[in-house]
Amino acid sequence: MTLFDLAKKNVARNLSRYALYVGTTIFSIIIYFTFATLKHSDEISGMAETSGQIRSLMSASTFILLVFVALFIAYSNAFFLKGRKREVGLYSLLGVRKKQIGTLLLFENLVIGAVSLLVGIGLGLLGSNALLQLLLRLMNSDLSIGFTVATSALIETTLVFVAIFLFTSFQGYRVIYRFKLIELFHADKKGEDVPEASPFMALLGVFVLGAAYWLALQDLATSPLWGYLTAAMPLLIIGLTIVGSGLLFHSVLIFILGRLKANERWSWRRLNLLTTSQLLYRIRGNAKTLTLISIISATAITAGGAIFSVYYYAEQQVTSYAPYTFAWQGEARDIDADVLHQTTVLEKTVRVAGEMGEREYGVIDESTFRAVATDLGWDTPPALTQNQVYLIDPFYDERFSENVTEVELDGVTHEVASRYDETPLNVMTFGGLLLVTPDDVFTALSEPATTYQAVSVADYKEQTALSESLSIEANFSSATALYSEAMAVHGALLFVGSFLGLVFLVATGSIIYFKTMTEAEEDRAKYAVLRKVGISKRDVKRTIRQQIAVVFLAPFSLGIVHASVALVAFSRLLGMNFTVPVLVWMALYSAIYALYYVLTVRRFTKQIL
Amino acid sequence: MNPLLQVDAIQKTYTTGGHAFNALDGVSFTIDHGEFVGIMGPSGAGKSTLLNVLATIDTPTDGDIFVDGENIAKLEEEALSDFRRDHLGFIFQDYNLLDSLTVRENILLPLAVTKTPIDETRSRVEALAHRFGITAILDQYPYQISGGQKQRTAVCRALISNPKLIFADEPTGALDSKSATDLLQTLAGLNEAETTIMMVTHDAYAASFCRRVLYIQDGRLSKELIRGTTSRDAFYQTILDELKGGASDDAV
């Protein structure tokens, strides 16, 4: 029998194990190829000229994906090899030379690589075209494109994965040379000592995480810490979070499990004893993986949550900057559309001294303000009395902004009757800061008045052509243009974000799945003992469910907590309320993650019973 | 009084590739309360299959097994587990202790699933550990103790639920001769204290501790040796003689 026949037989016999590994690599290739296609796509880069940031966003994301995919494949390859060390040992024992075994594994891995690459790129072609359509949809673009094959993406993907496969093959080759025969046989048998947690380390873990959270929740504007540490602050927060998570799994979890086990009233009931012992027994080997998973989950949930929130509020953002569909300086024009409101606004510009220096205000009179407020469906503002004004400041932020209570106009002091944080007129045309004065005060102002037009049109998102034809006007602002720009950027962001989020999710799920299934193989004998001493299938299934639940839930809940803190910090920074979109995103994420849990429990149970 | 165990014409047939093979071919015998019975036979004779079927780990193709009048060959899966847990005790060649549990925890595991009150569990474990001289190692892990101690732990675990019947499968197979003798004396002592034991072994020395030895060959009971009032040494000689006879049969 030649070595080649041996390799063939091998693959045929261990098909399910191979299927898992090949599945992982194919998945990685599909993801990478799809992403590379989008990056190289002419349509996207064409759009990138208008929306600016998409191209660099794509490049950065591809790089993250590259690192990630390489790690992921290396990880699953290591698992794959670990499970086969005994087989390799057997060859060695039968007198096959290390060199031959190495060649066998190398050859095998290259065949797997070649097959995965072919299948992955084939499926990736279909996937990338489908996703391209989806992306264009999300970006609210009416471009339509046919089936495309991106040669540059093809080359890039092939190069990247050939490099990865060469690396993992080399890795396998090294395993054969580095280990002694006896170790090869015991590779998956090495029992880990039952760990003991020091209360000090557990406390330290809680303290470090607490510190990281406290830092993260410091206000960027007012906290002196940000002043001292500036750019080092995010790094410090991330570093502390990682260290804290590591300690949490290494010590706090062990501490809690140890306590639970010591409580006989609880642990001597059903298989609780076994559940905690099994978890304790394995936790040290798992601590790194669990930390990794909690960090990946936190990243995915935070990024996804933030991006989804921004997308969710994009429209609101547009209408808050441009309440009227169009506004420009000059005379009224005929609008070829379903016009809802059309107003002519006279604005004067004044400069007023304040605590933080001179500020420039646009001034409109009270009647105009009432008219636009009615157009926008606002509550009618109460009438101003003598020496009173309204202040409109859409950028007001109590942390940075001066709280103006009175302004001096033509030597007369006017009290600010109330402040509006929302502007009724397009910021890009009228400026953000506005004063509303009684009509007679406005007329009396010596500054020259400028005439503006503000128009609201039905279906403002669809008025691209109209917007373009009006864009020649001076000081033109358009909600239509603003919206399509926002959609292009946010849509691309959302796409990239959810894409990466999904990849991370699949990766975390798969890592736990691999890990658990490897353990299942080692644990089979243990569960057989349980069955022999008369413990029912029901009880065994129960302890399996519980054990796997802890392994799934612990890093995930920590990830959720990390992400929540990060998102609270972000939402404060941006002054937006993220609650609804973030909850939706988290629910979606958890649902897919839960599917992984169910799948793992099923496979595990099948494996050992 | 009914026998404790009544095996009635059990049959176990394995079919591989259309080829039927009878691992057990109509085996019948009874074991009374307080007996210590050895099952002997050459490799492949069906000893392990018989034990697995009696231990409810495997199910017979045909035939009935009554334990205290209850037909366990007809029980459902969940009921079997409960039956096994409550009425049967097991001692295996490779101990089958769980590495992640201490000696104490290994022993109490079968009680944990029956919702026995903690104080009762604790006192039962202590009493058994004292009886078998492993009190000092109760809080150690299996990888920290010797083979003999492991097997005594396994004996304690087998006894913790006060089983009606103890099955021992080559319990001395992995022990040195000193530990093996200790264990066999322990089992014999247990038997004198009215515990019923059925032990599968291929070792004549181990079998000589039994009160009665059943010899199984090609899936059938071929001989029965009864120790009666003879000494253990004399019984050992009897078994050896029988084995020689059997061996010469095999050679033909």
- Segment B92-144, tens digit of pLDDT: 888 888 888 888 888 888 888 887 888 888 888 898 888 888 888 888 888 88
pLDDT recorded at residue A606: 87
Assess if residue B59 is contained within a domain: no
Give which of B101, B116, B125, B143 to mutate to test A binding, by max A Cβ within 10 Å. Answer: B101
pLDDT band at residue A144 under the 50/70/90 scheme = low
Give the model confidence (pLDDT) of A455-491 as tens digits. Answer: 888 888 888 788 888 888 888 888 888 888 887 777 7
CA pair distance A524, A195, nearest whole angstrom: 22
Q: For residue A151, is pLDDT > 70?
A: yes
CA pair distance B112, B121, nearest whole angstrom: 8
Q: How many CB pairs under 8 A join A and B?
A: 85
Are B92 and A532 an interchain contact pair (Cβ–Cβ within 8 Å)? yes
Handedness of CA A204, A207, A209, A212 (dihedral sign): negative
Q: For residue A567, is pLDDT > 50?
A: yes
pLDDT-wise least confident of A140-144, A188-192, B28-32: A188-192
pLDDT band at residue A147 under the 50/70/90 scheme = low
Give the model confidence (pLDDT) of A52-75 as tens digits. Answer: 566 666 777 778 788 878 888 887
Average pLDDT over residues A171-182: 72
Residues 6 or more apart in contact with residue A368 via CB below 8 angstroms: A343, A345, A346
User: Which residues between 507 and 546 in chain A have a beta carbon less than 8 angstroms from any beta carbon of chain B?
Assistant: 526, 529-539
Q: For residue A141, is pLDDT > 90?
A: no
Q: For residue A49, is pLDDT > 60?
A: no
CA pair distance A155, B218, nearest whole angstrom: 67
Please state whether the predicted TM-score (pTM) of the whole model is above 0.95. Answer: no
Asked whether the beta carbons of A568 and A214 are under 8 A apart, the reply is no
Are A532 and B57 an interchain contact pair (Cβ–Cβ within 8 Å)? yes
pLDDT recorded at residue B69: 82
The H-or-E segment that residue A358 falls in is strand A357-365
pLDDT recorded at residue A47: 57
Assess if residue B23 is contained within a domain: no
- A451 DSSP β-pair partners: A346
Handedness of CA A443, A444, A450, A454 (dihedral sign): negative
Residue carrying the six token digits 């920074």: A573
Residues 6 or more apart in contact with residue A178 via CB below 8 angstroms: none
What Cα–Cα distance (Å) separates residue A223 from each residue in A123, A217, A380, A512, A569?
51, 10, 39, 39, 13
Residue carrying the six token digits 């290396």: A74
Q: For residue A408, is pLDDT > 90?
A: no
CA angle, residues A158, A161, A163, in degrees to nearest 5 = 105
CA pair distance A576, A581, nearest whole angstrom: 11
| Residues of A whose CB is below 8 A from B97 | 529
Spans of all domains in chain A = 1-190, 197-325+462-469+477-609, 339-457
CA distance A521 to chain B (A): 15
Give which of A190, A533, A540 to mutate to test B binding, by max B Cβ within 10 Å. Answer: A533
Average pLDDT over residues A425-454: 85
Check if A185 contacts B (Cβ < 8 Å): no
Residues 6 or more apart in contact with residue A312 via CB below 8 angstroms: A580, A581
CA pair distance A576, A311, nearest whole angstrom: 12
What's the whole-number average pLDDT of chain B?
84
pLDDT recorded at residue A556: 92
- CB-count burial class (<10 Å; 0-12, 13-18, 19+) for B238: middle
User: Complex ipTM, two decimals?
Assistant: 0.78
pLDDT-wise least confident of A149-153, A448-452, A584-588, B122-126: A149-153
Tell me the one-letter amino acid at B153: T
CA pair distance A404, A254, nearest whole angstrom: 56
Residue carrying the six token digits 């358009």: A478
CA pair distance A91, B158, nearest whole angstrom: 40
CA pair distance A241, A218, nearest whole angstrom: 15
Are B113 and A273 an interchain contact pair (Cβ–Cβ within 8 Å)? no
Average pLDDT over residues A421-433: 83
Average pLDDT over residues A585-598: 90
Q: For residue A142, is pLDDT > 70?
A: no
- Provide the number of structural domains found in chain B: 1
Assess if residue B154 is contained within a domain: yes
pLDDT recorded at residue A558: 92
| Residues of B whose CB is below 8 A from A191 | 99, 143
Tokens representing A345 are 């606004």
Q: Rg of chain A's alpha carbons, rounded to an integer?
A: 32
Residue A451 DSSP one-character state: E
CA distance B161 to chain A (A): 10
Assess if residue B8 is contained within a domain: no
Longest dimension (CA), chain B: 60
Asked whether the beta carbons of A388 and A373 are under 8 A apart, the reply is no
What Cα–Cα distance (Å) separates residue A105 from each residue in A38, A75, A112, A401?
35, 17, 10, 67
Q: What totals of helices (H) and strands (E) does chain B contain, helices first?
A: 8, 10
CA pair distance B25, B38, nearest whole angstrom: 19
Give the model confidence (pLDDT) of A487-513 as tens digits. Answer: 777 777 777 777 778 878 888 888 888
Give the model confidence (pLDDT) of A318-366 as tens digits. Answer: 888 888 888 888 888 887 778 888 888 888 888 887 777 788 888 888 8
Q: What is the CATH number of the domain that holds B127?
A: 3.40.50.300
Q: For residue A586, is pLDDT > 60?
A: yes
Asked whether the beta carbons of A77 and A110 are under 8 A apart, the reply is no
Q: What backbone phi and psi angles, to 5 degrees, belong to A360?
A: -100, 130
CA pair distance A405, A417, nearest whole angstrom: 8
- A508 DSSP β-pair partners: none
Give the model confidence (pLDDT) of A270-316 as tens digits. Answer: 788 888 888 887 777 778 888 888 988 888 888 888 888 888 888 88
Give the model confidence (pLDDT) of A351-405 as tens digits. Answer: 887 777 788 888 888 888 888 888 888 888 888 888 888 888 888 777 667 777 8
Residues of B with CB under 8 A from a CB of A: 55, 57, 77-78, 81-86, 88, 90, 92, 96-101, 105, 108-113, 115, 118, 121-122, 141, 143, 157, 161
CA pair distance A348, A354, nearest whole angstrom: 19
Of the partner residues B84, B90, B100, the one whose CB lies closest to the CB of residue A278: B100
What's the whole-number average pLDDT of chain A?
81
Average pLDDT over residues A89-105: 77
Assess if residue B130 is contained within a domain: yes
Strand residue runs (E) in B54-121: 62-67, 70-71, 88-92
Asked whether the beta carbons of B85 and B161 are under 8 A apart, the reply is yes
Of the partner residues B96, B112, B141, the one whose CB lies closest to the CB of residue A268: B112
Are B118 and A268 an interchain contact pair (Cβ–Cβ within 8 Å)? yes
CA pair distance A477, A479, nearest whole angstrom: 7
| Residues of B whose CB is below 8 A from A538 | 78
Asked whether the beta carbons of A435 and A392 are under 8 A apart, the reply is yes
pLDDT band at residue A562 under the 50/70/90 scheme = very high
Are A534 and B105 an interchain contact pair (Cβ–Cβ within 8 Å)? no
CA distance B48 to chain A (A): 14
Domain holding B179, by residue range, is: 33-51+78-251
Q: Which of A241-250, A329-338, A575-584, B85-94 has the highest mean pLDDT?
A: A241-250
Give which of A192, A267, A268 to mutate to test B binding, by max B Cβ within 10 Å. Answer: A268
pLDDT recorded at residue A179: 64
Tell how strand A434-437 and strand A388-392 pair up. antiparallel
Which residue stretches of chain B have pLDDT < 50? 247-252
Average pLDDT over residues A246-259: 85
Assess if residue B90 is contained within a domain: yes
Assess if residue B25 is contained within a domain: no
CA pair distance A421, A415, nearest whole angstrom: 17
pLDDT band at residue A191 under the 50/70/90 scheme = very low
Check if A189 contacts B (Cβ < 8 Å): no
CA pair distance B174, B148, nearest whole angstrom: 9
Q: For residue A598, is pLDDT > 90?
A: yes
Average pLDDT over residues A554-579: 86
Residue carrying the six token digits 């031959």: A100
CA pair distance B21, B3, nearest whole angstrom: 30
CA pair distance A73, A123, nearest whole angstrom: 18
